[in-house]
Structure 1
Amino acid sequence: MSYQVEVPTADTIVVVSTDRKYKLHSAQLVQCSSRFAEMLQTAGPNLSREGLKQGTRYMLCLQDFDETSTRPIKPVFRRIPIDKDGKPTKKVTMMHEGDKGYRFRPSLFSDYDRLLRSFANQPIVLNDKSIETVLPDAMGLIEVAEYLGSIPMVAKVIENYLLARGQDFFKAISIDPIIWIDVAYRIESKVVFKEALIHLVGKYNLLLSTPPTAAILRRNPKARSMLDQLNVELRDLVESKHEIIKKQCQQIEVAISTHYPSGLQKSEVTGRADRDGIGRQEYGRDVFSWIGVALYRHWWGQTLANDGTHNNQFGGQDIYARLHKGGSAYLTRELTAGFNTHFPMSVKGKSVLANNLDIIKVGVSAIVAPLMVNESQLDIASSPIKWLTCTKVVGGDYLWEPEPEPELEPELEPEVESYSGKGKRRAEEAFDDEDEEAEEADDEEDEET
């Protein structure tokens, strides 16, 4: 009998097909595979002198039929009884690689070949010509390793092969994060898991609104979206991360809605208009700043009403990116021309209004900046994408081995620039001041009457 791999003094024959047989040490198999360890719990026979020459105490054979009904089944390993002469006690039915009637993938035999060679300390070789060739080899190896309980033997090798593709790999993850988070979860790769999770959260709205394919429905007839491919643990994690980003977006949108450019606020010390500069003339000088605030909020209100922010299919990345860029990226002078048709201004007046809008945009850019942080390893400058990649992945997110989280100080509430530009305070305080001033003005009017 010829073997693909034959380790000296080995005592176990592993048969994958008529063309692929391996002679390995039972101790190696027990150490490398939990399934083989279970199958080899019972000791082999006491070999005769003839049997000692053969040296075979165990035989494990991959078979694809039910022993009772002989119906075709998914291939499984079975232990074949061995007599004292080291020979099978019954006829051994082996699988044939050339048969075309099998319902399993053709690469099954080569997948087992890679895995069993690794048991004999031979290197695992995948087709790394491109990410498209690495993926099927990796998935096939993962499948057979899961069946044999040998994931630790292949996990790091697969991870290294994938990461060696560099930006090609990270781009592949961004295109189909559902496939890659499944791979990462199965081989327990934190690097790949983090990358896939970031893109999954960024594309959450799109994936949730995309109907499942026919192939997904065959596996899961109850599926209603592409996200239904995820198992319960992964789905819960993705949804919790999406909620965090959604709340962050909402807080930033509120901060934009309550943002005022620095320099508009007046300081009241004595309460006298002639000393504190809070008279009508002082406010009159800021009229173009206030027109800018009104025009900006008019545009921002329309954007929110049209669901152009966190509720759109890409989580608002397009508008947030333009807000962060500022300048001519949005609310251009051509667009504000429509405003001037209803509120005509001189050429200088239009220029002053445009400059005030630019000042507001600079402040808004700083507010939006946290959403523009790229937490992924994808180079979005050379490979632009349409979704946010600001999701922070922490130790507790790795489902197979959650890491304890360090205690952090509570986060401060969102702040907006104060009118005077001397510090920051919560957005609602600006409105509290306005309410108090309005009440004081009402009281003064009552006293005069």
Structure 2
Amino acid sequence: MVSYPDSQGAERSLAIRRPPSVASHSSRASTVRRHRPHRSHLGASSYQPQNEFPVFTHTGDVDILISNGRKEQHYLLHKLILAQCSGFFEAGLSDEWAMAGEDSAQNATSAAHARLPQGVLQEKKVWKYELDWGRDDDLPMLVQKNQKAQPTLFGGDGASSQPPALRNKPPAPQAGFFRSMANFSSLHVPTTPTDPDDDTFRDYDNLLRVFYNYPPALDPVNIANAYVECKSLLQIADMYDALDVIGPRVDHHLLRFQGRLWKQIAKYPPSYLKLGYMARSQAIFSEAMVHVVGQWPQGITQLRGQVAESVLELVEDKVDEMDELKAKVEVKLFRLTLTTSRGERVTPSNNWLEWMAISLFRQWLAENTTPPPAPILKSARQLSRNGHDTPLPPPPPFNTGRIFKLLGTGGASYLGHDECKRFLKLSPEHYNRDNLKRFERRIEEIKIKAKDVVKPLMRNFLELDLREGGLPYLTCTRIDPQDFPWDE
């Protein structure tokens, strides 16, 4: 608007009018801008408050601080999400729990109310947690601080500006220090100090990341490292009653290793049985269970007292089922016989040579499916190198799985040509070339019958590819959907 003086001394206004479309657009834009959130403009500060994981500045109401005095991780998250994912947070953030600290903050809140102008008071409750590292043998645990948010003009938390008291741990020694001092010439090589608490920081970050549907930071290449990281994450999830949320993420990550995972489970079945149970992974748990039952009682020391009683009961039930099946198969094997050309059962009176073939098979079966006899002496002892009398180590657990595997393979895997020849030579009057061939043919007939009998024990319920090499124990344990102990 431009003004000119008129003849009476008053001002005359000359309005410069914009086109209607421009004027209306400018009016709408100014209206929209009044309702838009604050944005940075040229010449103003470029800092924008973060409102995404891990710090939700505008909407977060649970303040979590993980610090050891050397570094810290800060999270400002949501009560609703934490309570949905964790039984620990569900209880700690409940109204009943909040009542405990209500009285202690009531006076401070009343004073703050009196200092604020009427009509502009907005109160925002912020829950505070800090990681308590405990003593050397204790596991670090989040501890809630009894601190109620202070009301401010803009709904912020006045108390949040006060840094919480930290219980600092002593500084970590620099990695490689003593090694570098031993080799002075290598001092010029820079070394990266490592913090002994890095694993704890990683585990808590992964826990909270999964709560917000972010993938956990787990090793995608080295399965041994991935196992350690997954196990550590599951342990912390168990502490915070969040296995239902964390377990599927761990299961998904490990299953991506595919064939390498099945090979690792075959190497360490008790360890993966425990991990599969914590992760509620049907695939990992079933795979490990087949190995554990097949090797039993080899893994008993690694499981007893370290897994839920329901898991140990399931193992023992499956072992009993396998033992019953093996007993039925053994009875059928010992009843195997041959018949003469007239259809009669072979006996010593009607065909001595063929009856000897049956006797050799039964003797081999009895020796290999019966535990060795106990030593005659009350306590078997041996002389050590220094001449002292020391007890013998306990014998390895007796497992007939290898024998049934041989029976299921047949052919020359047992009772081969040399064994038949040595046996027949024990009766020189019967040993000749024709009798040896006839004897071997009859042994082969028994092997074919035995292979058919042991078929129920030869079933394989592993994902592991056994074409690269067989296992010395049975893998016929079947885990049905109703068997999983976490569905009870």
TM-score of the two chains, using structure 1 as the length reference: 0.72
CA pair 112-368 structure 1, distance change in 2 beyond 3 A: same
Q: Secondary structure at the match of 2:298?
A: helix
Q: Secondary structure at the match of 2:467?
A: coil
Offset, 1:4: 6.8
The 3 A distance-change label for structure 1 pair 340 and 95 is: same
Match of 1:23 in 2: 76
- Alignment partner for residue 153 of structure 1, among 239, 245, 257? 245
Please tell me whether residue 398 in structure 1 is matched to residue 484 in structure 2.
yes
Does residue 126 in structure 1 map to residue 218 in structure 2?
yes
Residues 346 and 117 (structure 1), Cα distance of their counterparts in 2 relative to 1, 3 Å cut: closer
Tell me the CA shift for residue 302 of structure 1.
3.2
Q: Does 1:64 align with 2:133?
A: yes
Aligned to 1:6: 55
Q: Give the AA of the match of 2:236.
A: V
Counterpart amino acid of residue 329 in structure 1? S
Match of 2:207 in 1: 115
Q: Structure 1 residue 382 and structure 2 residue 468: aligned?
A: yes
Does residue 84 in structure 1 map to residue 162 in structure 2?
Answer: no
For 1:147 and 1:227, the matched residues in 2 are separated by 21
Aligned to 2:416: 332
Contact 1:314 1:386 in 2 (8 A): no
CA contact (8 A) 2:371 2:398 kept: no
Tell me the percent identity: 21
Does the Cα contact within 8 Å between 1:62 and 1:95 map onto a contact in 2? no
**Once the 2 structures are TM-superposed, how far is the Cα of residue 341 of structure 1 from its aligned partner?**
2.0
1:268-283 alignment runs, 5 A limit:
none
- CA distance 1:259–1:93, shift in 2 (3 Å): same
Change beyond 3 A, Cα 1:333–1:87 = same
Structure 1 4/314 Cα, relative in aligned 2: closer, same or farther at 3 Å? farther
Alignment CA distance shift 1:159-1:65 (3 Å):
closer
Q: Evaluate the alpha carbon distance shift between residue 288 and residue 168 of structure 1 in structure 2; reply closer, same or farther with a 3 A threshold.
A: same
Could you tell me which residue of structure 2 aligns to residue 236 of structure 1?
A: 313
Aligned in 2, Cα 1:386/1:291: closer, same or farther, shift over 3 Å?
A: closer
- 1:362 equivalent to 2:415? Answer no
Aligned counterparts of 1:382 and 1:189: Cα–Cα separation in 2: 26
Q: Deviations over 1:225-269 (max 9, x none)?
A: 7645444322222122112111211221111111124666748xx
AA aligned to 1:354 is: E
Answer yes or no: is 1:185 the counterpart of 2:277. yes
The 1:127–1:348 alpha-carbon spacing in structure 2 relative to 1, beyond 3 Å, is: same
Structure 1: distance between partners of 2:139 and 2:230:
20
Counterpart secondary structure, 1:125: coil
Greater alpha carbon shift after TM alignment, 237-246 vs 340-349 = 340-349
The one-letter code of the counterpart of 1:334 is D
Equivalent position to 2:336, from 241, 259, 271: 259
What secondary structure does 1:107 align onto? helix
Q: Which residue is 1:294 aligned to?
A: 359
Q: Which runs of 5+ in 1 are unaligned?
A: 213-224, 268-277, 403-449
Cα separation, 1, equivalents of 2:255 and 2:144 = 38
Structure-2 change in CA distance of 1:265 and 1:30 (3 Å): farther
Q: Work out the CA distance in 1 between the residues paired with 2:469 and 2:415.
A: 26
Give the number of equivalent residue pairs: 367
Structure 1 position 204, deviation (Å)? 0.8
Question: Structure 2-normalised TM-score?
Answer: 0.66
The structure whose Rg is larger is 2
Shift of 1:373: 1.3
Which range moved further: 234-243 or 258-267?
258-267
Instruction: Show CA shifts across 1:117-163 (max 9, x none).
Output: 23333222211212111112111211221222222221111001111
| Partner amino acid, structure 2, of 1:232 | E
Alpha-carbon separation, structure 1, partners of 2:333 and 2:357:
14
The 3-state SS of whatever aligns with 2:462 is: coil
User: Does structure 1 retain, via aligned residues, the 8 Å contact 2:215–2:249?
Assistant: no
Pair 1:54–1:139, CA change in 2 (3 A): farther
Letter in 2 for 1:191: A
Quote the Cα distance in structure 2 between the aligned partners of 1:287 and 1:65: 79
Q: Please give the secondary structure, in 2, of the residue aligned with 1:400.
A: helix
What's 1:411 paired with? none
Structure 2 CA distance for partners of 1:23 and 1:207, relative to 1, 3 Å? closer
Distance, in Å, in 2 between the alignment partners of 1:104 and 1:143 is 18
Report if aligned partners of 1:206, 1:314 keep a CA contact under 8 Å in 2: no
Unpaired runs of 5+ residues, structure 2, are 1-48, 152-156, 174-194, 374-394
Higher relative contact order at CA 8 Å, sep ≥6: structure 1 or structure 2?
A: 1
User: Please, which moves more after superposition, 140-149 or 40-49?
Assistant: 40-49
TM alignment of 1:336-351, pairs within 5 A: 336-344=420-428, 345-351=431-437
Aligned to 2:323: 246
